[in-house]
Amino acid sequence: MKEFIRINDSDNVAVALMPLSKDKTIDLGDIKVTLLQDIPQGHKFALAEIKSGDAVIKYGNQIGIAKEDIPMGSWVHTHNIGTALGELLEYNYKPVHASITGSEERFFDGFRRSDGKVGVRNEIWIVPTVGCMNSVAKEIERSAQHLVGGSLESIFAFNHPYGCSQMGDDQENTREILADLIRHPNAGGVLVLGLGCENSNIDVLKPYLGDYDDKRIKFLVGQNSEDEVEDALAILTDLAEYVKTFKREKCSASELIIGMKCGGSDGLSGITANPTVGGFSDILISKGGTAILTEVPEMFGAEQQLMNRCENEELFDKTVCLINDFKNYFKAHNQTIYENPSPGNKAGGISTLEDKSNGCTQKSGSAPVKGVLKYAEPVHEKGLNLLSAPGNDLVASTALAASGAQIILFTTGRGTPFASPVPTVKISTNNALYNKKKNWIDFNCGTIVETDTVSGLSEKLFEYVLEVASGKTVKSEDAGYHDLAIFKQGVTL
């Protein structure tokens, strides 16, 4: 079993892949380091003396500044390093001309919709336009389960607290997210459930849908119905028959859109699971598919690397706006831009936002950036896309689904049971989590510290995703979890 890793030859810290004891001698070939303290798994130790004010280097990049002199062999963490991040920065485009070579076409069994899009599930979604209808939506969900069968895989409601008492862009976000989900190809049929007096009522929402298949999307206004549950069940009975006409068929992996997200990260996230997802992303893109990276605040400190991979200067400019708009969002609310690592992140070995960000962006692989999306904007370009959304797990995952992701890959070092509107694959960074929470975790990357390689696991993950796209359920689906969270930014009336 590997005991430690120096990720880049220029790093002045290494990471413990297992708990390491004080006085243990670490042999890196060119240098030997005797540990001055116990080093927890996922945490860093100094490979050379780092003077106060000097850069701490990991991933070949600066992840912070030493707050004091750090002797060789010392534990390097929040007590002796701090962020070097400022607020708004000037960026220069330094293109690296990244490219991905095409590879053999692969296939999965999906559901082709009337608009040509492909879903990986054939479900009925009940989408309330406003939080006032949440309880009714859940009652309809419970009462409609007898309709599930044949190729209709499930029926569930997506509750949320919004759709009224919102203003401006905040209200627009809700309308656009709801419209994106109503159009999502994983839903073979959708019942849009309105109240009638809300700001984002059905008549207001319809223009956001554009042209739609009226066999697939149905509407019910609660205030216009004497018994909204009974009327909804009648609609769903007919809708279920339509949904059952869809059958799985052979579809190219080039039609897959996969969202990439991390949460509850630890010191191994950027070494095991995130690079594996990055390798997966490159494989998918090599076959003509699409990957979406989000959680913009967790790009701070690693954003220049993404900017340099932009295919052209227009995309570079959009990425600069993506980053600075989010920094201005923090400033507008009088919040510190770089206070991002959570207590769980720090316990797992992440010391600064730069440390977290350089690990987070490993999920993007090496492909060029082909698209930069606003919040709630659907994917337009195949390949790697960057999406504006916060780091919050549920909000960001919902945003990925709304932009078109049929599946989300979610790496975690701490574990989480949450779901999203689409199948959410939980990927553990370490063996302990995988062995402890097998009811949460779908795929384990902790074996990289033993015998597996990142490239080998990336190939395995690609095969696993094809299975999920073809109908294999993930743990959160088996538990019946389906979550929706919209980015709330504005005033509540």
pLDDT by residue (tens digit) across 40-49?
999 999 999 9
Task: Give Dmax over CA atoms of the chain in angstroms.
Answer: 80
pLDDT at residue number 2: 85
pLDDT at residue number 337: 73
Whole-number percent of the chain with pLDDT over 90? 87
pLDDT at residue number 126: 98
On whether both 49 and 130 belong to a single domain, the answer is: no
Of 31, 66, 82, which residue sits at a domain end?
Answer: 82
Q: Considering the domain boundaries, does residue 29 fall inside one?
A: yes
Q: How many domains is the chain partitioned into structurally? A: 3
Q: Considering the domain boundaries, does residue 114 fall inside one?
A: no
On whether both 383 and 445 belong to a single domain, the answer is: yes
Nearest one of 490, 493, 487 to 178, comparing CA atoms:
487
On whether both 341 and 211 belong to a single domain, the answer is: no
pLDDT at residue number 42: 93
Q: Considering the domain boundaries, does residue 486 fall inside one?
A: no
pLDDT at residue number 339: 63
List pLDDT tens digits, range 98-156: 889 999 999 999 999 999 999 999 999 999 999 999 999 999 999 999 999 999 999 99
Range of the domain at 18: 4-82
On whether both 214 and 274 belong to a single domain, the answer is: no
Nearest one of 419, 462, 121 to 287, comparing CA atoms:
462
Strands (E), 226-331: 249-252, 257-262, 290-293
What CATH number does the domain containing 228 carry?
Answer: 3.40.50
On whether both 205 and 287 belong to a single domain, the answer is: no
On whether both 257 and 223 belong to a single domain, the answer is: no
Q: Considering the domain boundaries, does residue 466 fall inside one?
A: yes
On whether both 158 and 228 belong to a single domain, the answer is: yes
Of 245, 271, 299, which residue sits at a domain end?
Answer: 245
Strands 107-112 and 61-66, sheet pairing: unpaired
Of 51, 82, 113, which residue sits at a domain end?
Answer: 82
- CB-side exposure of 207: number of CA atoms within 13 Å? 4
On whether both 195 and 255 belong to a single domain, the answer is: no
Q: Considering the domain boundaries, does residue 484 fall inside one?
A: no
On whether both 355 and 215 belong to a single domain, the answer is: no
Which residues of the chain carry a pLDDT beneath 50?
none
Q: Tally Cβ neighbours within 10 Å of residue 398.
A: 28
Q: Considering the domain boundaries, does residue 107 fall inside one?
A: no
> DSSP per residue over 14-27, as a string?
EEESS-B-TTPEEE
